[in-house]
Chains A and B, each alone.
Chain A
Amino acid sequence: GPHLMRVTDHHKMRSLVRFALEFLVTNPARPLVLHTMPNSRGNIITESDQGEPRTRIAREKCTTSVAKLISVVEIIKREFPKALRSHSSDATAGDGGGTSLSSESFNLHQYNEIGCKEDLFPLAEEESNEDRAERIRMLLE
């Protein structure tokens, strides 16, 4: 299945790119999903932001992490052929080099999705409302 990779504004671009290239070169059948969604705790605000208005901070952090995500993806696409060629010549060392790779295998396919965090859990909210209605109904019984 796909590998999920979260990009935040405090991640180092160089380590993100290095990991992504290594993953895509060594896992030819697995897609890599880079995203800026908050982690499971929903916390994209760091301790150093205390005292700032939360919504403004969240919006600014989102803007910088989206910009970083796009830059990281551009670098990955640019560096991928080089990384693949180098990996391939390592694998066939002493065998005349990696001449068997076709040119299209150097291209990465890219699929973009833009959404809103609030859109992610509409069902969970409905369920919790139903759960509360059910609790009230049982209390009344």
Chain B
Amino acid sequence: TPYMKITLSREPIPALA
């Protein structure tokens, strides 16, 4: 089953970029 994950942050997250 495919899934989607969206992270919202007020500060940039270099590890996820």
Determine the distance from Cα of A69 to Cα of B3 in the docked complex, in whole angstroms. 10
Question: Is A13 interfacial (CB-CB < 8 Å)?
Answer: no
A59: interface (CB < 8 Å):
yes
User: Which one, B4, B8, B13, contacts A66 given CB within 8 A?
Assistant: B4
Q: Say which size band chain B's interface belongs to.
A: 10 to 19
Interface residues on A, range: 35 or more
Q: Which residues of B contact A85 (CB under 8 A)?
A: none
Residue among A62, A70, A77, A111 with max Cβ neighbours from chain B (10 Å): A111
Q: 11 other contacts beyond A32-B9, A35-B4, A36-B4, with CB at 8 A cut-off?
A: A24-B10, A32-B7, A33-B7, A34-B5, A66-B4, A70-B6, A77-B8, A110-B6, A113-B5, A113-B7, A117-B3
Q: Which residues of A contact B (CB under 8 A)?
A: 2, 20, 24, 28-29, 31-38, 44, 58-59, 62, 66, 69-70, 73, 76-77, 105, 108-118
